[in-house]
Chains A and B, each alone.
Chain A
Amino acid sequence: MLPLEHLHLKHVLQTVGVLEAVILRSFGPEGGQVLFTRDTGQAMLSRSGTRILRALHLEHPLARMVVECVLKHSTVTGDGSKTFILLLASLLREIHTAASKEPHVSYSYNSLEAAEAATARHLADKLLAFALKELDDLIAMEVASHGCYISWEDFTVETHSPAHTNNHVQKLFASFFHMRLGYVHCAFISELTCELLNHWKCIGALPSFALQFLKDNFPALHTPVSGFPVTSSRLVEGQVIHRDFATPCPQTDHQPVKAVVFTGYLQPRLLNTGDVLEVGCGVTEERSIVHFSAWTERSLKCIIAHLQSLGISVLLSAVKQSAAVLALATQAEMCFVECVSEDELSLFAQLSGATPISDCWRIEPEHIAKLTFCRPILLGAHRYENMPVFSLIYKATHLPTKNYLGIIYTSNLQTLVTDAKPCSLIICGPGEGQTDQYACAFQDAISMLLTTWEPMPETGTTVAKRTVQSNKCTSSYTHNLTDSSTCTSSNLHSLHKCVLQPGCVIPAGGTFEFLLNHALLKLSHSCSASNDTNIGIPVSRLLASALLSVPKQIYSHSPGQFLQTRTRHNTTPIQSEVFRQDLGLESVSCKYQLLLAVLQCVTSLLRVDTVLHTHTALHTQSLADASWESTEDEAED
C-alpha cells in the first residue's frame, strides 16, 4: 500500500511561505542579490527570481508545482517571478483567514480541516471566475485611465532626438533593467535595447511580429563575450555566425557575395563502416585502392567546379565536411564554414531568402543567397599582431579568441519588409555568469515588451457583460438615484473603453496595486449597496487586501511612505507630472497576466487533496550509488 499523505491548507501555506521567505529579501528596488556558489568554485550574483527558484533543491511536490508555474509564466512575460510568489502567498493567507471564519457547513465533513479546505477551494474558484469576467473591465476603467500608451511610432524617430518620444519605452526598459541588473548599467542597456529594436522594427507590419521574431531568434542574434566591461556591448551589422572559417577567407571585393547552405555532406558517402570494398577483381585492368580514391577525388573536383561556375564563394554547412572537401575548397578559394547550428541556419535562411539544400547538383537560384559582405570578426581578444586584417576589433586582453563570421545581407529579403537593417547584438560582461544574465535580461525585456503590446482578447463574456450592466443600471435607477448616476457613468465608460488598449504603461512602484485595490473596494461597496447577495463581496475584498502586500513589500523600509503613497492614490487621480518623476514605468498587461496566472496557480494548488509517495527502484538505489558515481567522475577528471 503506497503511503498516503493528506494535504491540509497549512501545508500549502507553509510551502508557499517558505518560497516567499526565500525571495523576499531580493524583492523590490531595494532588494539584495543572492550569491550562488558551485562546488567547482564558480560564483555568481543574481537578483533574478527564476534563477533563484531554479537553484533551490526542492523535492516537495507542491513546491515544485509552484516553481514550475512561475517559470512558465516568466517564459511568457519575461518578468514578475518574485511578485508572483508574493501575491500567491498573500492570497493564500487571505483565503485561509476567510475559510477559517466560515467553513462550509452545508456538507458534512470529517473534520473542520476538511470543511476549511472545501471553502478555500470554493473561494479560489470564485476568485478565478471573478478575475476572468470582471477584472479586465475594472483595469481598463480604473487603472488604464491613469496610464499612458506607448506606440510603435516611438521607435521611428531617430535616436539623436530622444527628447520625448523614445522616453516612455526607454523608461520602461530602464525600470525593468534596474530591477533585474542593478542601477549601474540600466540606462546604457536600455538605450542599447532601444537601438536594437529600432533596427529591427521594420521587419513586419505589426510591432508584435518584429518582437516575436526577435524573441524566437534571440539565441542566434546575440553573442555573449565575457571578459569585457558591460559598456563595450554594441550592435554589429549583419548576422554573426558563431563558427570560424574552416578555410582561409580571401578578400572579395566584388559584390554581391554568393552563398549556399548545405545540410548534407558534399563528399558522397560511398562506403559505410562495415562495408567491404573489393578492389582489383575486375578481369580487364588492375585496380587498386589508389584508383578508387583518385576517382572519388575527381568527382569532388567536379562538384567544386560546378559551384565555382555558379559563382558561389561562401558555403555554410550544417555538418562537418571531410578533409578532402576542405582542401579542394581552399584550392578553389571558397570560404567554408562548418557545423553551423540550426537556429543560425534558419535565421540565415529567413533573412536571406535562400533555402538550404542537401544535394549540390540540384542548386537552383532560390538556394543562392546574396550577401553584401562576409568577413571574420574577432570577439574576445587576442594579441594585436595576430589579428586578421579585416576583423573589427577590440581591446587586447589575454583571453582566448573566438573567430566568428560576420555576414551582412543585401536587401534581398523576400519574405520580409526590405527596410530592415539586420544587426546582431554583442553582449559583454565581466564573467561568464554575468554575461549570461545580461543576455537573459535582454531576452526577458523583449518578452515583456511583446506582452505589453499584445491586445487583450475580448471574450464573449465581456460582450454579455455590457448588456447585463445596462439592465442592472435601469433597475437600480428607480431604487437609488445616487447609485444610478455612478452606474450610468460607469456604463458609458464601459461601452467606450471596455477593452484594454495594447501598450498601456503606468508608473512603477506599486501604482497598479494601489489603483486596483481602490477599484476593487469601490466595487465591493457598490455591490453591497445594490441588492446583490454576497457573491461578489468577499471575493473582491479578498483580492484587494491581497494586492496590497506587493507595495507593502516595496516600501517595507519606510512604512510612512507606504501610507503616504496609498492616501495619495486614493484621494487624487494621478496627474501626468508623475511621469516626470523618477518612478519608472511598468506594463499593465504584464500585471494583468500575472494576476491571472497567480489565481490559476492558487486554484490548482488548492485542488490538490492527497500526495502519493512512490519510490522507484532507481530512487532507492541512487542514494547508494551516488558516492560511487562521484568518485568515478573524479577519476575521469
Chain B
Amino acid sequence: MALNGDDEDFEWEPPSEAEMKVIQARRERQDKISKLMGDYLLKGYKMLGDCCDVCGTILLQDRQQKNYCVSCQELDSDIDKDNPALNAQAALSQVRERQLAAQSPVPSQTPELNGGPSSGQPSVSVPQPRPEHCEGAAAGGRALLPPPAVPPPPAAPSTTALAPTRPAVCPQNPALRPVLQEAEEAVLTKLRWATTQLQGAASLEASIQLCSLITSCANSLRSLKELKQLSIK
C-alpha cells in the first residue's frame, strides 16, 4: 500500500473559521458525551454493544435493564437547534435574515409602515411569516413557547426610518388617528400577553425574550404617543 501523492482531486485546505468553530463545538460535545458516559459507567451502568439509532452514540443500560442514550436524553441536540421547524430561535433568525434582505430594496414603503410598525398584523408588503406560524411551529417542538420577537426587530429599523419621514407624516394627521389607536391597542394587548407569559416563564431564554418584547412594546408605545402628539399638533 503505497501512499502516492497524486491526490489532485482532493486538495486538503485548512478549515475556515466557521468550520473550525463547528469542529470545535463537535469535539467539545464528544468530550462531554464521553465524560457523562464515564460517570455513568462508574455508577454501575453497563456499556452495551449497540449504538443509538438516532445519534449513533453507544447505549448504556441501567440496573433495571432500561437502555439509555446519553446524547439524546441529556444533552441538547447538535443539529436540532438549526432546524426552524423545531426551534423558534432558528425560525426567528431565519425571519430576521429574510427581512434584512427584503428591507434594503424597499425603503419607500416605510411611510406606510408608520401606522403599524410594531403591530402583530402583517399589514406590510414585506413578506414575512406570521408570528403565529412561528408560535405554532415552536409549540410542536418544544414545551416552552418563547414568544415571537418578530415585532421588535422590524421596530428597530423602522423607528430609525421613522425619524426622517416624520415631516412627511404630518399632512396625513386626521387619517392617522384611528390607525394609531388600533396600533396602540394591539401593542397593549401584546404587552399584556407578554406580561402573563413572563409570570409563567420557567426558562431563562424565554424570560429574556419576553422582557425584550416588553421593552420593544414600550418603545413602540412611546413612538406611537409621539406620533399622536405630532398629529395633534
Contacts and interface: CB of A to CB of B under 8 A. Distances in A.
A17 B65 CA distance: 24
Given A18-B38, A105-B10, A106-B3, A623 B45 contact: no
B208 to A, nearest CB: 33
Contacts of B48: 59-60
Contacts of B33: 14
Contacts of B41: 18, 22, 56-58
A18 B37 CA distance: 6
Contact of B57 (A14, A20, A122): A14
A21 interface: yes
A14 B50 CA distance: 13
Interface string A98-127: 000111111000000000000000100000
A60 B38 contact: no
A61 interface: yes
A17 B34 contact: yes
In the complex, the 8 A-B pairs of residues with the closest C-beta atoms, listed nearest first: A21-B38, A17-B34, A57-B46, A22-B38, A18-B37, A105-B7, A21-B34, A60-B49
A24 B31 CA distance: 12
Contacts of A61: 49
B35 interface: yes
Nearest to B31: A17
A10 B26 CA distance: 12
A145 interface: no
B51 A5 contact: yes
B143 interface: no
Interface in A1-50: 5, 10-11, 13-15, 17-22, 24, 34
A615 B152 CA distance: 59
Most buried by A among B6, B33, B37, B39: B37
A60 B35 CA distance: 17
B4 interface: yes
A264 B58 CA distance: 55
Contacts of A305: none
Contacts of B45: 57
A631 to B, nearest CB: 16
A21 B36 CA distance: 8
Given A13-B30, A14-B58, A57-B46, 5 more contacts: A5-B51, A11-B51, A18-B47, A24-B38, A56-B41
Contacts of A102: 7, 12
B42 A18 contact: no
Given A14-B33, A21-B35, A106-B2, A58 B47 contact: yes
B1 interface: yes
Interface string A610-637: 0101000000000100000000000000
A98 to B, nearest CB: 11
Contacts of B141: none
Contacts of A448: none
A344 B44 CA distance: 37
Contacts of B19: none
Interface of A: 5, 10-11, 13-15, 17-22, 24, 34, 56-61, 63, 101-106, 122, 534, 611, 613, 623
B30 A17 contact: yes
B26 to A, nearest CB: 10
A628 B41 CA distance: 26
Contacts of B50: 5, 613
Interface centre among B6, B12, B34, B51 (most CB of A within 10 A): B34
Contact of A58 (B2, B3, B46): B46
A148 to B, nearest CB: 38
A22 B47 CA distance: 12
Contact of A59 (B31, B35, B46): B46
B44 A57 contact: yes
A532 B14 CA distance: 25
Contacts of A15: 58
Contacts of B51: 5, 11
Interface centre among B3, B9, B33, B39 (most CB of A within 10 A): B3
A621 B35 CA distance: 33
B47 A60 contact: yes
Contacts of A18: 34, 37-38, 41, 47, 58
Contacts of A14: 30, 33-34, 57-58
A20 B37 CA distance: 10
B9 A20 contact: no
Nearest to A626: B65
A103 B10 contact: yes
A534 B61 CA distance: 46
Nearest to A52: B42
